[in-house]
Amino acid sequence: MNEEKTKYVEVLFVMLSTGNNRPHQRLWKDVAGFCTHLSRFTKCHLYALRGYEKGKNSHEHLILLVPSDELDRFNDRFPSFQSWKAWSWIHEVSPFKPELKESAYTYTLVKHEPVLDGDSDTFFCPKYYTRCRRGACSHKATINWQQQLDLF
Ligand SMILES: [Zn+2]
């Protein structure tokens, strides 16, 4: 068995907002829907680091990562993604800037409240490969959590 972990690379920095006072469970669910849509559209596995704002002004910030061996496909398909088809409220989808990595992580996960794996989904499978469609997606287990969290 090859135990080598897949490397995930940051591709997008995203802000998704909703109407005011939306319960955060609703926000989480809507954001997961956006990620599912993007994953299927790009045919790429997505790992999302998510942070949300508690209270009236409900919104989330996300750092989205793809496995490095799917990066070419992501870059190929993402330019035709129309974000307003997946999110009709105010939002911003920007390319991730490596030079701002540390502030992006701090902003998302420290200044905002982290969305944990038990709260809502943080991993999205496009169900593109045959093994994924058969329910045997191997990607989730290969996220190298330690590597992603090295900054802390
Ligand atoms: Zn999969």
HEC letters along 53-87: CCCCCCEEEEEEEEEHHHHHHHHHHHHHCCHHHHC
How close is the Cα of 97 to the center of ligand 1, in Å? 26
How close is the Cα of 134 to the center of ligand 1, in Å? 9
How close is the Cα of 127 to the center of ligand 1, in Å? 5
In order of their start, the domains of the chain are 8-143 (3.30.70)
Residues composing the chain: 152
Percent of the chain scoring above 70 in pLDDT? 89
pLDDT-based confidence at 1, cuts 50/70/90?
very low
Q: What is the pTM of this model?
A: 0.90
Average pLDDT over residues 6-18: 93
How close is the Cα of 131 to the center of ligand 1, in Å? 7
CA 86 to chain centre: 14
pLDDT-based confidence at 141, cuts 50/70/90?
low
How close is the Cα of 133 to the center of ligand 1, in Å? 7
How close is the Cα of 132 to the center of ligand 1, in Å? 4
